[in-house]
Amino acid sequence: MYLEIITPEITVFKGEVDSVSVPGVNGDFEMLNNHAAVVSTLKQGFVKIIGDITLDDSNKSQFEKKGKGYWYAVKSGAIEMNANKIIVLAD
């Protein structure tokens, strides 16, 4: 599935991933390939990305490597998952 993480300043990440976990306002949840369509607001926490991803030198410092995944801190935001594409609008 395809993931884009977008902030008001830049697109932080875009690429294929295996799974994504996000801090939804009603609790953390994970999305895998072929997940049902979902729209949610995000609270402060981490977007957790699992997959064989490549980070650019320009954004690598914004991610923390933990185990098999990468964590990206968000203060708030929104997420949309539809047709195996996830868009995270992060603040």
| pLDDT at residue number 56 | 85
How far is the C-alpha of 17 from the C-alpha of 37, rounded, in Å? 17
What is the per-residue pLDDT for 16? Answer: 97
In the numeric block, the tokens 């976990």 are attached to 21
Domains in the chain (CATH in brackets) are 2-90 (2.60.15.10)
Residues 21-80 pLDDT 10s = 999 999 999 999 999 999 999 999 999 999 989 898 888 899 999 988 999 999 999 999
Q: CA dist 52 to 15, 22, 25, 71, Å? A: 10, 18, 28, 13
CA distance linking residue 11 with residue 36, whole number of Å: 24
Q: What is the pLDDT of residue 68?
A: 87
Is the pTM for the entire model greater than 0.85?
Answer: yes
Q: Give residue 86's pLDDT.
A: 98
Please, which pLDDT band fits residue 84 given cuts at 50, 70 and 90? very high
